[in-house]
Amino acid sequence: MLQVSDLRKSYGEVTALDGLSLTARPGRMLGFLGPNGAGKTTAMRAVFGLVALEGGTVRWRDAEVTGDVRRGFGYMPEQRGLYPRMVVGRQLRYLAQLHGVPVLEAEAATTRWLDALGLGDRAGSKLADLSHGNQQRVQLAASLVHDPELLVLDEPFSGLDPIGVEDMSDVLRDRAADGATVVFSSHQLELVEELCDDVVIITSGRERLAGTLDEARAAASYRRVEVRLAGGAPVTPPPDAQLVDARDGVVRLRIPVATSLDELVTSLAPQGTIEHLTFTSPRLTEVFRDVVGSSIAELEGAEATRTGADAEVAS
């Protein structure tokens, strides 16, 4: 289990990590989410000792993370971390050996992962000669070639076509099923929702929401409703509902979480026969938007308070 506790890091006047904590568990995938500049990449680099932290700890299996322990981790940075003019197969074998894999095992692992990622025929190609998507696949292979216990991926699906996304998704599912701990960041929230067991949403270097995917969705202050009445009759939303949109006879609403399904049906029944009704928690995209939006509003409010206090002192 990976435990990140109270991480703190600043770059000059910019605070990248402001007490960030998270936990990632074996056999599960954790979606590490946040807007640009939230601190995700800094936190990932901290796991690998690539950032000099000003505070906080990173622990693996309830012990300090040493250099030897990190050799058992796999990291896929958002920016290319490979040698563009080096032959792909040779490069992967070299990286596997750096992680302590014996020569013959490194050779077998290189072949296995290139085949699994649809690149078996490109082992003799230079990385620079591959397409962007295939370079991304090689980057993933480089993080896997030593069979890591912990896999940390920064925007792994960036630039992939649908087939590439499917192939990479299958690989990550298999790794988690085999007991590895998988952490990845992505702005493709529909994909995170499809793959991940757990999510952490951060803004300004702080954790804002953490838990299982179901817990994150259920924590929202509203539920999503879709309703269609017989004959496409118009729907008058209940007084406490927010109209999202109405299209092709289907009305989409947001209902406060305190409103029960029975209460909703009771309010709609006098308007006509209900042909279609769904009552669900919001999607991860909506949860993300709400969490990030409220965090920004909180920061703006705090800044306004500080500005007002400064002006009062100055006067």
Q: What is the pTM of this model?
A: 0.84
Q: Judge if 176 and 204 occupy the same domain.
A: yes
Q: Quickly state the pLDDT bin for 103 (edges 50, 70, 90).
A: very high
Do 126 and 268 sit in the same domain of this protein?
A: no
Same domain, yes or no: 137 and 75: yes
Whether pLDDT at 306 is above 50? no
| Rounded mean pLDDT, 279-288 | 90
Based on the domain organization, do 49 and 172 belong to the same domain?
yes
Quick check: 298 pLDDT over 70?
A: no
236 shares a domain with 87: no
**Residues with Cβ within 8 Å of residue 174, at least 6 apart in sequence:** none
3-state secondary structure at position 36: coil
- Which tens digits make up the pLDDT trace of 144-181? 999 999 999 999 998 888 988 999 999 999 999 999 99
List the CATH number of the domain containing 188.
3.40.50.300
> In the predicted model, what is the mean pLDDT of the chain?
89
305 pLDDT above the threshold of 70? no
Check whether residue 152 and residue 184 sit in a common domain: yes
Task: Report the distance separating Cα 33 and Cα 188, nearest Å.
Answer: 10
Note whether residue 309 is domain-resident: no
Say if residue 309's pLDDT is above 50: no
Most confident of 19-33, 64-78, 79-93: 19-33
**Rounded-to-integer distance, Cα 33 and Cα 199, Å:** 7
Confidence of residue 248 (pLDDT cuts 50, 70, 90): confident
What pLDDT band is residue 307 in, cutting at 50, 70 and 90?
very low
Residue 21 is assigned to a structural domain of this protein: yes
Residues 115 and 28 in one domain: yes
- Tell which of 160, 187, 216 closes a domain: 216
Average pLDDT of span 178-192: 95
Helix (H, G, I), strand (E, B) or coil at 240: coil
What domain count does the chain have?
Answer: 2
303 has pLDDT over 60: no
**Spatial separation of the C-alpha atoms in residues 149 and 151, rounded to whole Å:** 7
Q: What is the pLDDT of residue 176?
A: 96
- For the four alpha carbons of 211, 214, 218 and 220, in that order, the dihedral sign comes to positive
Question: What span, in angstroms and rounded, lies between the C-alpha atoms of 265 and 255?
Answer: 12
For residue 259, pLDDT over 90 is answered with no
Considering only 116-125, 207-216, 295-304, which range has the smallest mean pLDDT? 295-304
Q: Does 313 fall in a domain? A: no
Residue at 234 is within a domain: yes
pLDDT at 313: 45
172 and 230 co-located in one domain: no
Q: What is the CATH classification number for the domain harbouring 260?
A: 3.30.70
Distances (CA, A) of 121 to 53, 86, 165, 236, 292: 42, 16, 20, 60, 44
233 shares its domain with 131: no
Residue 295 lies in a domain: no
pLDDT, residue 295, reads 62
With a cut of 70, say whether residue 297 has pLDDT above it: no
Q: Is the dihedral of CA 59, 65, 69, 75 positive or negative?
A: positive
Owning domain of residue 37: 2-216
pLDDT for res 249: 85
Q: Are residues 151 and 225 in the same domain?
A: no
Domain end (from 166, 193, 216): 216
User: Is there a single domain that holds both residue 29 and residue 73?
Assistant: yes
Share of the chain above pLDDT 90, in %: 69
Does residue 312 or residue 14 have the better pLDDT? 14
Confidence at 237, pLDDT banded by 50, 70, 90: confident
| Average pLDDT for 272-277 | 91
Boundary-marking domain end, from 177, 197, 216: 216
**Are 202 and 230 part of one and the same domain?**
no
Q: Does 288 reside within a domain?
A: no
Handedness of CA 302, 308, 313, 314 (dihedral sign): positive
Residue 32 has pLDDT above 90, yes or no: yes
Where residue 235 falls among pLDDT bands split at 50, 70, 90? Answer: confident
Domain presence at residue 170: yes
208 lies in a domain?
yes
Q: What is the mean pLDDT of residues 120-147?
A: 93
Does residue 295 or residue 23 have the better pLDDT?
Answer: 23
- The Cα–Cα gap between 1 and 181 comes to 7
State how far the Cα of 89 lies from the Cα of 117, in Å rounded to an integer: 13
